[in-house]
Structure 1
Amino acid sequence: MLGGCRAYSEMFCRLKPLRRFCLKKILPHWLPSSRALSGAEAVNALRPFYFAVHPDFFGQHPREREINENSLKRLSVYLENLQKPGFKSLKPTQLTFYIREKTAQNSLEGQEPISTSGFRAVRFTLHTSDLLSTVLYILNSCSLSAEHVQSLNTTNVHSQPLQEATGMPDRPIKWHKSYYSFTGFKDPDEDLHVSRVETTLMSWLGSNGQSAVKKLKNSLPLRKELDRLKKELSDLLQLSDIRWQRGWGVAHRCSQLHSLSRLAQQNLEPLQNAKGCTIVFTDRSGMSALGHVMLGTMDVHHHWTRLFESLPSYFDLQRRMSALEDQISNLLGGIQVVYIEELQPALTLDEYYCLLDVFHNQLLKSRAPAHPQSLSGLEMILSSDRYEPSLHELGHFNIPALSDPASLQSFMRSRAQQARENITRREELKVIENELIQASTKKFSLEKFYKEPSISSRQMVDCCRRLLQLSLPYLHGMHLCVSHFYSVMQDGDLCIPWNWKKGEAMK
């Protein structure tokens, strides 16, 4: 299994930076002199885009919904980072979205044709350094009109450059409303009106509360069935837990557990290798960097069987990985190498072992002097990019695998005290977060209150504190999720953005 790992490491070390971008080919020359967009203006400008990719449209298409949800989270993080004062150049972020289309005629050159489900996949990489450039790039990549952006950026902006950037004609066509009624296309004038109205928490709950109650009520029998199947399989296979990596609905989760249950009835012996493990249903089979057994939801039973049969070799690799982490820790003054699922790409055990091996070889080649236990109690995560080492606000170090070991140790020692202070604040914040979650659950009589993994403790604390100042009878008995956008999930869970707005809708 590890035969190709050394070759991979050598190849990885020889890689040269390939991230070179020429913004002149993408964005017009006038953008740097334009007035910077505010965060609220950027959200308004992207309303047509959010409407086209909103997860609510994909309830019967879990794969497309899952991809859009994850891409929206990553986009939100990118936009937030752009608004931080003094930010440095951002890491290029590749995103994929499925856009709902009416007819195959909407498929454009350079984009995938519309699938039989009526969705078109659009892929693009964000590497722009300001909000306006990013907004225009997203709209253009998705073949959405950017005409309305001009009204948000009137200072030092002329109509001709905008037309060149967006490819819009000199005189935009104005269709009669009967055209939109007949074709089913959205009237851009209506979209523009919607974009000027900011959604507030109270108005959104008032409009969507009844729909969520109905969906939740309909899902209750399936939820009970899911709990029964999960307990039954956990007891039979002596598992630590059963999880789902993506936002599958309850019906799909039940179907996946039924499938695993049938496999256990047909051939129990290989499945017993998973004793004590956590099983995660995800998009590919294998073992994760955290040691969880990953069952690809698109794989058939014999793929799963082969995985369960190969678990002993994975356990051996896991032991080697732990030994490698210990060796790295000893070479770097006692700092602990950790893998944080919410903050790192989803890696298999094989991929993560190779990444550790690359970094370990770098340390051995440098022969940099070790400083025993000088960094004890601190944490670091490894990444495969070529950016500079950094200290995260949560207290861990972000370390590229190809960092120069000598300068790396100097960097970490110089920031060790700051890292310890960040860790202390993180732990204190976590305690406050848990207390506020419990208080919110009790006050609003919520059946379940949770957050998306991409929501930080600081964001959750801010959200809960403001929620506790309100009276929200809509939430009694509901499942509430704190996320980056508003949505009613297919099983009745209510998703609200952590930075929800209070008050009347503003025009």
Structure 2
Amino acid sequence: AVNENSLKRLNGYLENLQKPGFHSFKPTQLTFYVREREPNSSNVQESFGTSGFRAVSFTLHTRDLLSTVLDILNSCSLSTEHIQSLSVNSQPHKEAKSTLNRPIKWDKTYYSFTGFRDPEEELDQAQRVETTLTSWLDDNEASAVVKLKKSLPLREELERLKFELSHQLQLSDIRWQRSWGIAHRCSQLHSLGRLVQQRPEVLKNVKGRTVVFTDRSGMSAAGHVMLGTMDVHHHWTKIFERLPNYYKLQERLLFLEDRISQLLGGIQVIYIEELQPLLTLEEYYDTLNSFYNKLLDSRLPFHPQSLRGLQMILESDRYTPSLHEFGHFTIPTVCDPATLRWFIIAKAQEARENLKRREEMMLTEKELMDTSAEKLSLDRLYKEPSVSSAQMIDCCKRLLEESLPYLQGMHLCISHFYSVLQDGDLCIPWNWKS
């Protein structure tokens, strides 16, 4: 009865081993009564002891058929030579094991029909398991603290340099297009400071403007003075000398925006620096001019001022128009005029409603950011431009529900991915998982 019961359990264990997608194995203890053999007998014939049988107990925990069979035979002191000789061309046991244990790849319909779990699908799901916020902070908080402490003296120097240059040149602001490190930013400000000392006369035209350190020099579509970080003082000097010409081009650009507005029923053409690609003033002017000429040729029948109060931006890397959560239209420069007219008219009321909600949403976002920064004792909380207000609001609401002592005194950036920046800022995705 004992052997019969153990055989049934052994049979079930071996069957499960051969089922595709079966991964849940519980250690199984079995007991068999086997006939005893003479201790030193090398003959096939067996002799019996006093009782004639001995009890053999062992636990099955292996996950492949070959290892399981070998363990059973070894536990019962039975020969395994015939098992190990099964390998093709007398391969070693290790190779035989991999040959006999290679998985069978079944068609997807097999798993649907039988209800067995698909091992490939389970592997894909395991790889898609998202990192949780707390686990990521556990792994990265210590290194972020070290980097942040190391950067503190440079952060103070950066603020000092920025304040002094802004005051000296009477600038509206100093910004950076990219997330360069603090040391890199200080170096750029030192370089600008040296130019101020060497050529103070060329910087008189920059008064009231915003200076942006970026990849190239010129003037941006938003009217900011761009200083290329790879350019030398000679290039920067040329940009400052050409500022009066840039200002004239900017006036022509504003006139062009006004002409487009008149052709589109009074809708205002705007450029949103945070949402659009960084364009030079010349590039943006060419984009507007091309779009304006297309509108002139199409002669769209918009009633004058019927769309007054609405806003639109132009983008050259899109093909279909859309409506932003803040109420402005995003119009591709290649958009068919008839499609453009239909879309704007169809979405005009929704756009007006979004514009009304914009101020409320921005106020809610700011309040939640301030509250989150205070509750989590953050030194700074900010977001990447690509994170929308709705996403930021959702993120902050969930942060307020968490207890995250790791974040005390840290700089937290809401982004689309997890990362520790070189100066200790923590980046987390807005849709982080708890």
TM-score, with structure 1 as normaliser: 0.60
Q: Which residue of 2 aligns with 1:215?
A: 147
Aligned residue type for 1:332: L
Structure 1 unaligned spans of 5+? 1-150, 159-190, 503-507
For the residue of structure 2 that corresponds to 1:380, the secondary structure is strand
Tell me what 1:381 maps to: 313
Q: Per-residue deviation at 1:315?
A: 0.5
Q: How far does the alpha carbon of each residue in 1:91-148 deviate from its partner, in whole angstroms, 9 at most, with x for none?
A: xxxxxxxxxxxxxxxxxxxxxxxxxxxxxxxxxxxxxxxxxxxxxxxxxxxxxxxxxx
Question: Equivalent residue for 1:275?
Answer: 207
**Residue from 336, 346, 355 that aligns with 2:268:** 336
The separation in 2 between residues aligned to 1:497 and 1:369, in whole angstroms, is 45
The answer to whether 1:467 aligns with 2:388 is no
What value does the CA root-mean-square deviation take over the aligned residues?
Answer: 2.4
Q: Which amino acid in the other structure matches residue 212 of structure 1? A: A
Deviation of the 1:401 alpha carbon: 2.1
Aligned mate of 2:226, from 294, 297, 303 = 294
The structure 1 residue matched to 2:375, chosen from 412, 420, 443, is: 443
Query: Displacement of 1:410 after TM fit?
Result: 3.6
Using CA pairs below 8 Å that are at least 6 residues apart, which structure has the higher relative contact order? 1
CA distance, structure 1, for counterparts of residue 426 and residue 108 of structure 2: 39
Could you say what secondary structure the match of 2:432 adopts? coil
Q: State the match for 1:484 in structure 2.
A: 416
Summarize deviations over 1:350-397 as a string: whole Å, max 9, x none: 000011011111122223334121111111111224623332333211
Residue of structure 1 equivalent to 2:385: 453
Shift of the alpha carbon at 1:343? 2.5
Question: Which AA in structure 2 matches 1:479?
Answer: H
Superposition deviation, residue 336 in structure 1 = 0.6
Larger Rg: 2
2:227 alignment partner, SS class: strand
Residues 154-193 of structure 1 aligned to structure 2 (within 5 Å): 155=108
Read off the aligned partner of 1:251 and give its amino acid letter: A
2:267 equivalent to 1:324? no
1:356 corresponds to which letter in structure 2?
Answer: L
Correspondence for 1:356: 288
The Cα shift of 1:435 comes to 1.0
Q: Deviations over 1:177-214 (max 9, x none)?
A: xxxxxxxxxxxxxx999946632111111221121111
Distance of aligned partners of 1:248 and 1:157 in 2 relative to their CA distance in 1, 3 Å threshold: farther
Aligned residue for 1:26? none
Aligned pair partner of 2:333 in 401, 404, 413: 401
1:204-250 deviations in whole A, cap 9, x for unaligned?
11221121111111111101110111011111111000000001000
Which residue number corresponds to residue 261 of structure 1? 193
Mapped partners of 2:361, 2:283: distance in 1: 32
Query: 2:7 is matched with which residue?
Result: none
Match of 2:30 in 1: none
What amino acid maps onto 1:369 in structure 2? P
How much does 1:415 deviate?
A: 1.7
Q: Assess, with a 3 A threshold, how the Cα gap between structure 1 residues 308 and 203 changes in structure 2: closer, same or farther.
A: same
Between the aligned partners of 1:411 and 1:469, the Cα distance in structure 2 is 40
- The sequence identity of aligned pairs, in percent, is 68
* Alpha-carbon distance change, 476 to 409 in structure 1, aligned in 2, over 3 angstroms: same
Residues 195 and 320 from structure 1, CA distance in 2 versus in 1: closer, same or farther, beyond 3 angstroms?
same
Residues 448 and 386 from structure 1, CA distance in 2 versus in 1: closer, same or farther, beyond 3 angstroms?
Answer: closer
Q: Give yes or no for the alignment of 1:240 onto 2:209.
A: no
Secondary structure at the aligned position of 1:415 is classed as: helix
Amino acid at match of 2:145: V
Q: TM-score, normalised on structure 2? A: 0.70
SS in structure 1 at match of 2:226 = strand
1:499 CA drift (Å): 0.9
Alpha-carbon distance in structure 2 between the residues aligned to 1:276 and 1:494? 33
1:12-39 CA distance string (max 9 Å, x none): xxxxxxxxxxxxxxxxxxxxxxxxxxxx
Q: Return the alpha-carbon distance in structure 2 between the equivalents of residues 386 and 492 of structure 1.
A: 36
Equivalent pair of 2:414/2:430 in contact (CA under 8 Å): yes
**Using a 3 Å threshold, how does the CA distance of structure 1 residues 217 and 192 change in structure 2: closer, same or farther?**
farther
Greater mean deviation of Cα atoms: 243-252 or 331-340: 331-340
**2:374, 2:254 → 1: CA distance?**
41
Q: CA deviation at 1:155?
A: 3.5
Partners of 2:128 and 2:319 in 1: CA distance: 39
Equivalents in 2 of 1:407, 1:194: separation in Å?
44
Distance (whole Å) between structure 1 residues aligned to residue 391 and residue 163 of structure 2: 33
One-letter amino acid of the structure 2 residue matched with residue 218 of structure 1:
K
Number of aligned residue pairs: give it: 319
